[in-house]
Amino acid sequence: MLALKFLWAPDPVAISLGSFKVYYYSLMFVIAFSAGLYLMKYIFKKEGIALKYLDPLLLYMVVGTLLGARLGEVFFYNWDYFQNNLLEIILPFKISSEGWEFVGFRGLASHGAVIGITTALFLYIRKYKYASLLWLLDRIAITVALGGIFIRIGNFFNSEIVGKYTGSNFGVVFQNKGETLPRHPVQLYESLGYLIVFVILFMIYKNTQKRKQEGYIIGLFFALLFTVRFFAEFVKESQGGFGDQLGHLSTGQWLSIPLILLGTGLAVWASRKKA
């Protein structure tokens, strides 16, 4: 049988100019937001929305994503640690008896990002009243699925959020973690899954009838994307959180279930409305 074992030991730094360094994970975030901005520009032009609304939309999205994802990591996964290190919630430093070490905001949770983005867009659309919240969520959902592709690639370069050991000659050996046994490249599984979700959502958006059924695309987004996340968790190492205490399912799976149900219900409700 052909062995499909891949040794993976990348330099996490993509660009280095003296003391200034850009990590692949950060670069993937920039690419994700840039791709999303480009896509929203296409959508705004297609639907006759003034482009002056794009810059504030990007600002709300960036703040909502990063703040929500950070707080999601804190409260869903690592409260036991952060309750004794409150400053590290908002500062990109690890504080110890030996001093301060810059580590960036490595802990980011996608379920928290959902809450942060939704809250940010609610505040945004209250100020810029050119469409309904559901209209905007439908279109932002497509960009978020696109961005998720790059974020998981960034996780892969960082050798983080790793999969379980495969117990065979198939998989990726994360040598930067000092390992010699192959794991499931679950980051790439998810990235591929998000690509499929993005293609489905974008093709539905191109359908004028479905596009007019506000709430349908965001509902389908929740149902599909978090189904991908739910099944990926079966081959992912535990990220901690309350799931370890409940057993059977991981924290990510418990958090995905209500979003899958919400999305399915929203898509059904929207599909029954007259466009």
Cross-strand pairs, 183 = 165, 172
CB 109 within 8 A of CB 76: yes
Give residue-wise pLDDT tens across range 94-140.
655 565 555 555 556 778 888 999 999 999 999 999 999 999 999 99
Strands 93-96, 99-102: pairing is antiparallel
* H/E run at residue 20: strand 20-23
pLDDT of residue 270: 94
Higher per-residue pLDDT: 17 or 174: 174
Give residue-wise pLDDT tens across range 19-67.
677 788 889 989 999 999 999 999 999 999 999 999 999 999 999 988 8
The SS3 of residue 244 is helix
Q: List, in order, residues 6 or more apart from 149 with CB less than 8 Å away.
A: 32, 191, 194, 195, 198
Least confident of 53-62, 71-80, 151-160, 221-230: 71-80
Q: How far is CA 43 from CA 37, 67, 275, in A?
A: 10, 26, 19
Q: Which of 149, 77, 86, 148 is nearest to 117 (CA)?
A: 148
pLDDT of residue 194: 97
163-176 burial, b if ≥16 CB within 10 A, otherwise e?
beebeeebbbbbee
pLDDT of residue 1: 40
Predicted confidence (pLDDT) at residue 239 exceeds the cutoff of 70: yes
Higher per-residue pLDDT: 216 or 18: 216
Higher per-residue pLDDT: 70 or 204: 204
pLDDT of residue 97: 58
Q: Which of 211, 223, 228, 224 is nearest to 271 (CA)?
A: 211
pLDDT of residue 20: 75
pLDDT of residue 37: 95
pLDDT band at 244 (very low <50, low <70, confident <90, very high): low
pLDDT of residue 200: 97
pLDDT of residue 3: 60
Q: In whole angstroms, what separates CA 150 from the centre of its chain?
A: 9
Strands 20-23, 13-17: pairing is antiparallel
Q: List, in order, residues 6 or more apart from 65 with CB less than 8 Å away.
A: 113, 116, 117, 120
C-alpha span between 93 and 38 (Å, rounded): 32
Cross-strand pairs, 174 = 8
Q: Which of 98, 57, 94, 97 is nearest to 78 (CA)?
A: 94
pLDDT of residue 2: 47
Give residue-wise pLDDT tens across range 177-232.
899 999 999 999 999 999 999 999 999 999 878 888 999 999 999 999 999 999 99
Give the CB-side neighbour count of residue 272, counting CA atoms within 13 A.
6
C-alpha span between 6 and 253 (Å, rounded): 28
C-alpha span between 25 and 158 (Å, rounded): 7
pLDDT of residue 24: 86
pLDDT of residue 100: 59
pLDDT of residue 236: 94
C-alpha span between 28 and 35 (Å, rounded): 10
C-alpha span between 84 and 51 (Å, rounded): 45
In this prediction the pTM is 0.86
Higher per-residue pLDDT: 61 or 18: 61
pLDDT of residue 163: 94
Q: How far is CA 114 from CA 95, 119, 275, in A?
A: 28, 9, 26
- Joined together, the tokens standing for residue 181 give 């046994």
